[in-house]
Amino acid sequence: MRQKIRTTLQQTHLQKILLLFTLLISSLYSFGQQDLEKELTNTNPVHEKVFATFKDTKLINSHTNETIHKNELEFKVDHRFGDIGGSNGGIKQFFGLDNSTDVRIGFDYGISDRLSVGLARAKGATAVQQLYETSIKFRLLEQTTDDYIPFAVTLFGSNTIAAVHASDDPAAATAYRKFTDRMNYVTQIIFARKFNSNFSFSLTPGYLHSNFTAFRDQNNLFAIGAGARAKISKRMAIVVDYSIPFRNRADKEYLEQTSGVKFYNPLGVGLEIETGGHVFHLNFTNAAAIEEMQYISQTTSSWLKGQYRWGFSIARRFSFNKKETRQ
């Protein structure tokens, strides 16, 4: 009975989310293409766009406002090692390098300079593993140098499907009974501003929905994230991001008391290095997972206990733009 009621409510709620997101994307895309592009380019050349608010589509854990250029393909690998310190770290685990909590391999393609789509496969850092993600990202507004538009706004949405074997435990997070139980959704609005050539900042409110969760865990979760990039040399910058999920206190306390699970806010700090066609990130974070559906809601490691880890990401872009034919 519990499963039937929850499934019915989830389907109704999910249909509303998908309909709203679809209508939002289509209307905003039409508006952006017809009105904003005209406003920011030929009609009034004073309103010049701010380019490269961030150097990559992601900081450490969170997305930036950047998208992939038209007809370009980005190949990206993200990796998280084990705990540096704490009971699962130290010299015996070579400070986490002997372990791997999550690995993600993804491709993003630019349909236009403002709209990109993605496909990725991640290991997953919780019991919910073997993750397949599809995503869409659209640049709704772009900051201008004269502050006519003072900040950039980008929309992000993803659907992640867990292919892990279903558990026989009805209270488990993987007690799937049908295919739709395996689906998880993320929608975010990314506000970003480049204050000068050396500093950029972003603020990201978001909404997470999982069709199926462990008993007394939340199907729906609001969260807000913040990120920043501070340039320290021509090709190097310090990057940082932080997320705050707004959990239901009663459910949070129940999970802590019954299963000993304690949740923490994910914090990441790293070094960004540009090397020609590559952008390389060397980072530290207490988030074991890489996918939004997990690192925002399921971070159970604490910086204060030494439960942070080495991580890196490396991206390479390939252009499929045809060369212009000479007259």
Give the pTM: 0.82
- Asked if residue 242 has pLDDT above 90, the reply is yes
Q: Which two tokens stand for residue 287?
A: 């988030």
What does the pLDDT read at residue 27? 47
CA distance 314 to 110: 18
In angstroms, how far is the first alpha carbon of the chain from the final one?
71
Across the chain, what does the average pLDDT equal?
Answer: 85
pLDDT tens-digit readout, 103-114: 999 999 999 999
Residues 6+ apart with CB under 8 A from 119: 106, 107, 133, 134, 135
Host H or E run for residue 102: strand 100-110
Provide the total of helices (H) and of strands (E) in the chain, helices listed first: 4, 12
pLDDT digits (tens, 9 = 90+) for 49-97: 998 899 899 999 999 999 999 999 999 999 999 888 777 777 877 877 7
Nearest to 44 by CA among 149, 150, 196: 149
Indicate the residue type of 50.
V
Dump pLDDT digits (tens) for 261-303. 899 999 999 999 987 767 788 899 999 999 999 999 999 999 9
Structure tokens at 243: 């997320």
pLDDT given at position 238: 96
Structure token pair of residue 207: 């909404």
Q: Which residues pair with 224 in a beta bridge?
A: 205, 244
* Residue reference for tokens 């490269």: 52
pLDDT for residue 9? 47
For residue 97, the model assigns a pLDDT of 79
The pLDDT value recorded for residue 13 is 52
